[in-house]
Amino acid sequence: MPQCLISGAAFEPFLSFGEMPVANAFSDPARPEDPFRFELEVGFCPESKMVQLTRLVDETRMFHDHYAFYSSTSAGMARHFEAFAASVRAGLGGEDPFVVEIGSNDGILLRHFADAGLRHLGVEPSANVAEAARARGVNTISRFFDEDAARAIAAEHGPADAVLGANVMCHIPYLHSVLEGVKRLLKPGGVLVFEDPYVGDIVRKTSFDQIYDEHVFYFSLASVSHLAAMHGLAVVDVARQDVHGGSMRYTLAREGERPVAPSVPALAAEEEAAGLHRPETYARFAREVQRVREELPALLRRLRAEGKRVTGYGATSKSTTVTNFCGITPDLVEYITDTTPGKQGMLSPGARIPVVSPRAFAEDPPEYALLFAWNHAAEILAKEKTFREEGGRFITYVPRVEIL
């Protein structure tokens, strides 16, 4: 049985997806694909309450000098991070504050601190996206954040008022080292503010495509509180975020240094009611996932039999789980359109579906577009008005398989 990365206790997996490629390993059609595969499987530890992968992919296989995901490809996310920066800045006091971000990618969040002339540092191991951040004036070091990195940062820059992270804490298997490092780096009264996809939303929406190699953990308040307490930290505030299909922002401080906001016990009660503490909840989720796995390819095969063309929209990391788990290959989805230049002209991992530019989609639109980037639905549906007005339809599978 696998062992919990937080508590060390043995736990049972509740859902297996089979062999998967690395979710962001887009490949050049002229070269053979990297044959690396791993068993994608998730389980729930009743002791730490943490939902997590049972097998890990080495981080240097996922985060390197050609990491495919650039944060700044969505206008909606740019607005989200502008607001995130404003809320952090509003809480900064004292002279010459210093803010550190873990997993700062292309600087989508820290640019607002850089533009305001505030002391900041991004810690971003993927060298290509780190370079994009530097190019727009965001101070960035290229390394994995852990306790050693925190020590080095504190020695060079002094203690931090705030340590931030978005969609990165859930990527890091060695969270004990990360939290020790954060504790060491923070000033007295300093805060760790991070947000990640929320397991409550994943369960409620059956958004199983959040499960892939990079996402080691699927957090709840219960699991984050358990982890925090192991390090003398406490969750002092929580706030839902309407991004990535439903995220939660957690604010942590050293125990006793800050008052606990009413949002914390309120969410704890909600999680109790939703059954996020119980293995049965995840068993039920696994059954719902199997239903989507049957219904989605069945719909695609039916459309295909009717002679309709279907393409994909958004070559997301999430789409790698969907295509490979549901058996969606280029005979069912002709191509996937994506705005990221580095993904265009490549093949999707495993399923080997060609990725094309939005222009190719506009010039040769299909009858149906399978919305892999469903978390950006509002932005995309607004942008693709013409496609829809001319009779094009979007297909989703979250929270259920349907034609929009």
**Which spans of this chain sit near ligand SAH (rule: CB under 6 A)?**
59, 63, 67, 69, 71, 102-103, 105, 108, 123-126, 129, 144-145, 166-168, 171-172
Residue 282 binds which one of ligand SAH, ligand TMP, none, with CB within 5 to 8 A depending on kind? none
- Contacting residues for 191 by C-beta, under 8 A, at least 6 apart: 91, 161, 162, 163, 236, 251, 252, 253, 258
For residue 281, the partner it binds in ligand TMP, ligand SAH, none, with Cβ less than 5 to 8 A by kind, is none
Residues 6+ apart with CB under 8 A from 274: 200, 203, 204, 281
Choose between 7 and 321: whose C-beta lies nearer to ligand TMP: 321
CB of 236 to ligand TMP, least distance (A): 28
In whole angstroms, the minimum distance from the beta carbon of 123 to ligand SAH comes to 5
Q: Which position among 52, 241, 311, 317 is part of the footprint of ligand TMP (CB under 6 A)?
A: 317
Smallest gap from Cβ 102 to ligand SAH, in A, equals 5
Please identify, using beta-carbon distances, which residue of 15 and 172 lies nearer to ligand SAH. Answer: 172
- Selection from ligand SAH, ligand TMP, none that 67 binds (CB < 5 to 8 A by kind) is ligand SAH
| CB closest to ligand TMP, residue no | 314
State which of positions 63-102 bind ligand TMP (CB under 6 A): 73-74
Q: Which does 129 bind (CB under 5 to 8 A by kind): ligand SAH, ligand TMP, none?
A: ligand SAH
Nearest approach, Cβ of residue 330 and ligand SAH (Å): 27
User: Whole-number minimum distance, CB 383 to ligand TMP, in Å?
Assistant: 6
CA dihedral in degrees (210, 211, 215, 220; nearest 10)?
Answer: 70
Which does residue 167 touch among ligand TMP, ligand SAH, none (CB within 5 to 8 A, set by kind)?
ligand SAH
Q: How far is the CB of 361 from ligand TMP (least distance, A)?
A: 9
Partner in contact with 293, chosen from ligand TMP, ligand SAH, none, beta carbon below 5 to 8 Å by kind: none
Cβ 245 to ligand TMP shortest distance, Å: 8
One symbol per residue from 268 to 307: x for binding ligand TMP (CB under 6 A), - otherwise; what is it?
----------------------------------------
Binding mask of the shown chain, residues 321 to 360, with x at each position contacting ligand TMP by CB under 6 A: -----------------xxx--x-----------------
Rounded CA separation 2/207 (Å): 23
Q: Which is nearer to ligand TMP, 274 or 360 (CB)?
A: 360
* Least separation in angstroms between CB 170 and ligand SAH: 9
Find where tokens 């929270």 sit: 399
* One character per residue 181-200, x = contact with ligand TMP (rule: CB under 6 A): --------------------
Angle at the Cα of 105 from the Cα atoms of 101 and 108, rounded to 5 degrees: 80
Measured from the CB atom, the residue of 145 and 374 that comes closer to ligand TMP is 374
Check: CB of residue 143 under 8 Å from CB of residue 123. Answer: yes
CB of 213 to ligand TMP, least distance (A): 13
Distance CA 119, CA 344 (A): 36
Of these partners, ligand TMP, ligand SAH, none, which one is at the site of residue 144 (CB under 5 to 8 Å by kind)?
Answer: ligand SAH
- Residues at the site binding ligand TMP, with contacts judged by CB under 6 A: 73-74, 314-317, 338-340, 343, 373, 375-376, 379-380, 383
